[in-house]
Amino acid sequence: MIRLKDTKHANTAEFLNSAIRIAEYYGFTSLDEMKPTRMSREDEKRRAAAAKNENEIAFARRDERGLAQIARKCVACARGSDRGGTLIWRTSMGASGMPSATLELHVLGSPSAIAEALLLVIVNAIAEEAGLTARSLAINNIGSYESSNRFVRDVGSYLRKHIESISPTLRPRAAIDPLGTLVQLIEKGHPAAPRAPQSMEYLTEEERRRFWDLLEYLEIYGLSYELSPHVLGSRDCWSHSLYEINISDQETGAQFAIASGGRYDPLASRFAVSPMPAAMISINCEIRGKTRVVREVRGVPSIYYAHLGPEARRKSLSVLEGLRRAEIPVHQSLLYDRIAEQMTRAKELAVPYILIMGYKEAMENTILVREVATNAQEAIPLDELPNYLRRRRMGSWKSLAANL
């Protein structure tokens, strides 16, 4: 949990306002402003059956129960989206030992590693703006349900060998839920936990390539990380990547988590009654002083950012974050795979300017600035882009009325 004394913010509301402003820059929308999509009668029956069987989910961590509740709402809003994915934020206030406020970010509908990378880049920006400098990112991968069966089987065998060292109250769980038991042993600092089997050793070649895609996004962006076998969760909730962001106590040096999340395809698919890729991250902050969020009412960007090819997509996170820091608003559709979809979206938004990053531009650290009315375009070095846009008054907000 984030302690406000470690940040630049005077109260909880200040922190949430700042964090939501960053999330909305990247296109996230409040869950409260979204309407659920109606399901067919058959799908509604299957969804009701899935909800009825929710007590069958083997939760490995306490926070997973809350995720099950919100996943149903997010899926209902994302179902049927034709825009490559749905970006959702929500806040909640709760009391768990110490009262805390939670900001959740969800990306639904995108199976690409860009979903997790986008979440991690945003939370990194939120932490930076809050003044949290001594932080670290821990990542693990548990693969798909099928590929992790061997991992869970070996964890069960390992726990049976060390059953005498496990507390009597936890021993019955070790037989029926080895993974959940291991999570509890890790949380308690049990001496047997560090020597337990590691899930990344059981990934298939395809899953390793998929995981490398995420790590490559982070490395090109410049976000350091460490692979940690101790970031785990229930296979009924999570698949593939799991991550946790920690900060160090300046006085004691001890580390504590401020954010965590991962890809929760199994849970989202359960409530969507069909395959539904989904990823999320949750940030926790202590409650102190004001808590009421006051959002800025701004216009809409006059620029659309488009990418062409995987190299350009990997570079895009750095470009967009640079524009955000320069306070230049842009539309973007990083979740789209094809340039044609992005150009169609730019046309729908009726923007006067489009930034285009292709393979050549990604290799040369440049970007094309195109004026829609004349189709004239110019290649601009990335380090000169913010000033170029400001000088030509391109990076401004259009009034909401003009966009209606």
For residue 48, what pLDDT is reported?
61
Note down the domain range covering 317: 300-403
Q: Are residues 277 and 355 in the same domain?
A: no
Task: Spell out the SS3 assignment of 184-221.
Answer: HHHHCCCCCHHHCCCHHHHCCHHHHHHHHHHHHHHHHH
* Interval 335-349 mean pLDDT: 94
Which pLDDT score is estimated for 35? 83
Give the Å distances, CA to CA, from 169 to 3, 65, 166, 173, 404: 33, 21, 8, 8, 61
> Is residue 156 one of the residues assigned to a domain?
no
Predicted confidence (pLDDT) at residue 114 exceeds the cutoff of 70: yes
The answer on 258 and 307 residing in a single domain is no
Residues 66 and 211 in one domain: yes
Q: Which residues have a Cβ under 8 Å from the Cβ of 296 and sit 6 or more positions away?
A: 21
What's the chain's length in residues? 404
Same domain, 8 and 123: yes
Q: What pLDDT does 166 receive?
A: 93
Q: 403: pLDDT confidence band, cut at 50, 70 and 90?
A: very low
Res. 12 pLDDT band, cuts 50 70 90:
very high
**How much is the pLDDT for 401?**
44
Task: Tell me, yes or no, whether 8 and 142 share the same domain.
Answer: yes
Do 10 and 97 lie in one domain? The reply is yes
Last residue of a domain, one of 220, 251, 286: 286
Locate tokens 């959702």: which residue? 88
Q: List, for residues 312-322, the tens digit of each pLDDT value.
A: 999 999 999 99
Same domain (yes/no): 231, 110:
yes
Least confident of 129-133, 161-165, 395-399: 395-399
Q: pLDDT at residue 51 above 80?
A: no
Quick check: pTM over 0.85? yes
Mind listing the pLDDT tens digit for each residue in 28-46? Answer: 999 999 887 765 666 566 5
Which of residues 58 and 146 earns the better pLDDT score?
146
Query: Does residue 134 sit in the same domain as residue 259?
Result: yes
- Mean predicted lDDT score pLDDT of the chain: 90
Residue that terminates a domain, selected from 226, 259, 286: 286
Query: 207 and 136 in one domain?
Result: yes
399: domain CATH number? 3.40.50.800
Confidence of residue 351 (pLDDT cuts 50, 70, 90): very high
Tell me the two tokens of residue 21.
């402003």
Rounded Cα gap, residues 129 and 221, in angstroms: 17
Number of domains in the chain: 2
Domain boundary among 244, 259, 286: 286
Report which of residues 296 and 66 the model is more confident about.
Answer: 66
Mean pLDDT calculated for residue range 293-300:
81
Instruction: Provide the percentage of residues in the chain whose pLDDT is more than 70.
Output: 91
In a domain, 381, yes or no: yes
Tell me the per-residue pLDDT of 230-264, one tens digit each, with 9 for 90 and over.
Answer: 999 999 999 999 999 999 876 777 788 999 999 99
**Is 127 in the same domain as 237?**
yes
pLDDT above 90 as % of the chain: 73
282 and 304 co-located in one domain: no
Answer yes or no: is 190 within a domain. Answer: no
